[in-house]
Amino acid sequence: MKKLRLTGAAGVALAGLLLAGCGVPGAGSTATDGFDGPRITERVTVGDVAKLGNSTLRVLADAGEEDTLKAAVPLYEKKYPNIKVEVATKGFDDLMKTVVNSMSGDNAPDLAQGNQGYGTDGPLVKSGLIRPIDDIARTYGWENLITDGTLKQWRWSAGGSIFGAGSLYGISPVTEYVGVFYNTDKLAKLGIAPPQTYAEFTAALDKAKAAGEQPLMLGNAEKYPASQVIGLVQGQKTDSRDVRSWIAGVPDTTVADPGSTEAARTVQDWAANGYFGPGYNGISADDAAAKFSQGQGVFYVAGSWNAPSLQESMNGRVGFTLPTRDDGTRATVGSMGLGWHIGAKTDKLPAAVAFLDLLMSDEFAQSIADVGRTPVTGGDDVKAASPVVEQVNKIGTELLADDGQNFYLDWASTTMYDTVGAKTQDLLDRRTSPEGFVGGLQDDWTAFQKQQREEAAAAKDAS
């Protein structure tokens, strides 16, 4: 575990300060979400935070947040001088494995990042380790800032058994999604204009292959990158609402639909025809990015978060696109960033809310953009850190307006991450058919939903 900043014990938290709403602006505790703690009905002020005295706000975050937090913490501590922010960061895999235990400990963080879906956020909600934030989102206007379809990635029933509906448990100031990077020098040499539509994209792949180039760079050793390619194509052939409903576990939904099956078939054909080059299942995601920056592959399907590093490593000779569907809208694998959650045990609620307010503010949006990320606030006043990041931000805004974030298939169950990875490698190696691929995902989903129903019934009987 890496420490971004460790301030030591700068003061003692005032235990019980927030009990029965004491010190919380507009506090009340009437709700139907099962949470009986204080509520936020008015914006937190400097005076509200000052009532905490000298305190430490403990934050647990993904290591990818370090640059963002390095910008945020000094601004926060300047505005709220009685609060010292202690940030601990962990790599993504480590964070996902440990955040539930961290939040259940005696010295749990006040703020922590989880991950949307049944794998991480589900247990956090089910165990009562994080509080719903509908009151905060309503007070600060976040519900009006982000579409309801997008916010569903943090909505849960009170018992954590139903994903995508119910109370809001998280928020993020950034949006991230999978798109297509391209080598501008190679496109110019091949006489290919940057593709704007899916038809133009597939035609460009064919032209690159015919010219002797490797059309697509892929490193799939970690098993998830190829699933992102499938998700990109799935966005062209399915309705985002249907995909999100399946991920959320809506009864009678399926991923074994014609569009998802055709997406799997397309990517399997690309693999069979050499579009990914040799040995892709033995190449790591990091090595794939490095190889692309060194000139291997004309296109690279990857997360928008790769834009800053590719801009630097390719000396600006990189562009970004997300091909539109036939109707001109955009859809792809994507979501908001890892959600920020407020710990149910925190006795520093005003300080935690103030920190989220800073991250979500228009004023901080430029700081987010300066580290190469795509903020959801700030509007046209935000200037991108580089041309390729500007492309990412522009398309990301359009994607949100189109309500085209399909989320991630692995959110659909606690075991789906492993299932998607294994089935994707089987698909590309032709050990399974496109129908077998989507059928395997559906089997995992069906088993998990059955388990959810049985657990809910047992809990009801026990009560």
- Which of the pair, 19 or 104, is modelled with greater confidence? 104
- Which of the pair, 381 or 89, is modelled with greater confidence? 89
CA proximity to 343, closest of 117, 33, 75, 35:
35
Q: With a cut of 90, say whether residue 409 has pLDDT above it.
A: yes
The alpha-carbon radius of gyration of the chain (Å, integer) is: 23
Instruction: Identify whether the C-beta of residue 222 lies closer than 8 Å to the C-beta of residue 285.
Output: yes
Residue for token digits 């703020």?
111
Instruction: Identify whether the C-beta of residue 198 lies closer than 8 Å to the C-beta of residue 324.
Output: yes
Residue 413 tokens, joined = 């169950």
CATH number given to 2-173+338-388: 3.40.190.10
Q: With a cut of 50, say whether residue 399 has pLDDT above it.
A: yes
Q: What is the pLDDT of residue 33?
A: 64
- Per-residue pLDDT band at 379 (split at 50, 70, 90): confident
Q: What is the pLDDT of residue 32?
A: 56
- Per-residue pLDDT band at 97 (split at 50, 70, 90): very high
Q: Tell me what the mean pLDDT of segment 241-259 comes to.
A: 96
Q: Tell me what the mean pLDDT of segment 108-112 comes to.
A: 98
Instruction: Identify whether the C-beta of residue 234 lies closer than 8 Å to the C-beta of residue 260.
Output: yes
CA proximity to 396, closest of 67, 245, 174, 238:
174
Distance of CA 23 to the CA centre of its chain: 33
Using DSSP's 3-state secondary structure scheme, residue 400 falls into helix
Residues of the chain with CATH 3.40.190.10: 2-173+338-388, 175-335+395-450
Q: Tell me what the mean pLDDT of segment 391-405 comes to.
A: 92
Instruction: Identify whether the C-beta of residue 245 lies closer than 8 Å to the C-beta of residue 256.
Output: no
Q: What is the pTM of this model?
A: 0.85
DSSP state of 407: B
pLDDT digits (tens, 9 = 90+) for 70-84: 999 999 999 999 999
Q: With a cut of 60, say whether residue 151 has pLDDT above it.
A: yes
DSSP state of 332: B
Task: For residue 271, list its beta bridge partners.
Answer: none
Using DSSP's 3-state secondary structure scheme, residue 340 falls into strand
Q: With a cut of 70, say whether residue 22 has pLDDT above it.
A: no
Q: With a cut of 90, say whether residue 36 has pLDDT above it.
A: no
Contacts of 106 (CB under 8 A, 6+ apart): none
Backbone φ and ψ for 300, nearest 5 degrees, come out as: -145, 110
Mean pLDDT of all residues in the chain?
91
Round to whole Å and give the CA distance between 338 and 173. 9
> β-pairing, 55-62 with 111-113?
parallel
The secondary structure of 96-164 as a DSSP string is: HHHHHHHHHSTT--SEEE--TTTTTHHHHHHTT-B---HHHHHHHTHHHHS-HHHHGGGEE-TTS-SBS
Round to whole Å and give the CA distance between 15 and 8. 18
- Counting Cα atoms < 13 Å in the Cβ hemisphere of 49 gives 23
Helix or strand holding residue 321 (H, E):
strand 318-321
Q: With a cut of 90, say whether residue 269 has pLDDT above it.
A: yes
For residues 221, 224, 228, 231, the Cα torsion angle rounded to the nearest 10 degrees is: 130
CA proximity to 400, closest of 375, 368, 380, 378:
375
- Per-residue pLDDT band at 7 (split at 50, 70, 90): very low
Q: With a cut of 90, say whether residue 29 has pLDDT above it.
A: no
Give the architecture-level CATH label for domain 175-335+395-450: 3-Layer(aba) Sandwich (3.40)
Q: With a cut of 60, say whether residue 454 has pLDDT above it.
A: yes
CA proximity to 55, closest of 26, 81, 27:
81
Q: What is the pLDDT of residue 8?
A: 31
Find the angle CA(159)-CA(91)-CA(60) to the nearest 5 degrees.
Answer: 55
